Amino acid sequence: MEHDLKERLKELTCLRQVQRMLETAPPQDEICRQVVAYLVPAMQFPEKAVTALELDGQCYRSVSDEAPLLRGLSAPILVGGAIRGHLSVAYTDDSPFIIPEEQNLLDGITHSLGLWFERQQAEDDLIKERNSLARRVDERTVDLSRTNMELARAVRAKDEFLALSKVEAGRMDLRREIVTISEICEASMIFVKEQALKKQLKLAFRLNDQMATVKVDPKRLKQILVNLLTNAVKFTESGSRVSLDVTVDDEAGAVHFVVQNSGIGIAREGLAQLFQPFVQLDSRLNRQHEGTGLGLALVRRLAELHGGSVTVESEPGKGSRRANR
């Protein structure tokens, strides 16, 4: 009776060792080596027992030699209903008998192994599915972003064309109101922030009087600034800088808006064409970023409608400085 209890205790200890090991999720190679090591002491004749585990075409044995084995037991490792390997035990001589409890132990261990491998396989499949889904989402996001940009470009082209047509026909009525200059400028900077981040550009804004106000059409002033900033960002190489400097001149009763970048610059002969409708100067960056050819023409007309003006200073390779007064 005492002997039987000791044998059952060894078997339970072995099974618990295997289960605890699986809880730590070790590599498959370590699992196989540990299982054959745990199994030997649990046998009724451990000094004569040889255990082996075959898995995915590899065999792990408790001894390195190829001693002949007699009277063995075996249990399959089932993963998802398919046999993935076997766990077996045998003796090196003709031992008196093999007790049924040893077969039960092998069945218990292979059952635990099968469940663990099924769970790992399910987790691996889930990770693969998540990665595949993430790739599809990224691809779809890129497609949607491209579509949104094309729609935004089309809407902007329509708005600029209609606005320019109204100005040219003398039908543009400004809705002037007193606005805080800093609010208009900050809102305009936010409009180009994402585009600047994509190109790793540094955006800078400086205003000499944070409390200053001006009586303008806020929608049209923002349209002027956004057009100037968008062009500056578009024609600035990655890693450079775009700035908006605003100076309030109380004595002259004027506000100077200066957008400056360190981009490719404009040749002298191109400056005269810069504010003509539907004209886009030929450049490498211009070919990469399509535009309407109306933005700067509209900027000049809106500035003049406010009683102001627009000037440009530029030099190839040194960027541009656009001033709106």
Instruction: Encode 274-316 in three state secondary structure.
Output: CCCCCCCCCCHHHHHCCCCCCHHHHHHHHHHHCCCCEEEEECC
Tokens representing residue 244 in the block: 């908006």
Could you give the CA distance from residue 164 to residue 301 in angstroms, rounded to a whole number? Answer: 8
Say what the pLDDT of residue 322 is: 58
Which pTM does this prediction carry?
Answer: 0.52
Say what the pLDDT of residue 3 is: 56
Q: What is the mean pLDDT of each run of 10 residues along the chain (325 residues)?
A: 69 87 90 90 84 89 68 86 90 68 89 91 90 89 79 68 65 85 92 88 92 91 89 84 91 89 67 59 48 70 84 68 59
Say what the pLDDT of residue 289 is: 47
Tell me the pairing of strands 241-249 and 202-207.
parallel
- Kindly state the greatest CA–CA separation across the chain: 115
Could you give the CA distance from residue 75 to residue 70 in angstroms, rounded to a whole number? Answer: 16
Say what the pLDDT of residue 198 is: 86
Which bin fits 288, alpha (ψ -120 to 50), beta or left (φ > 0)? alpha
**Which domains are delineated in the chain?**
2-130 (3.30.450.40), 174-324 (3.30.565.10)
Note whether 263 and 235 are within 8 A (CB): yes
Say what the pLDDT of residue 50 is: 87
Say if residue 280 is exposed, middle or buried (CB neighbours under 10 Å; 0-12, 13-18, 19+). Answer: middle
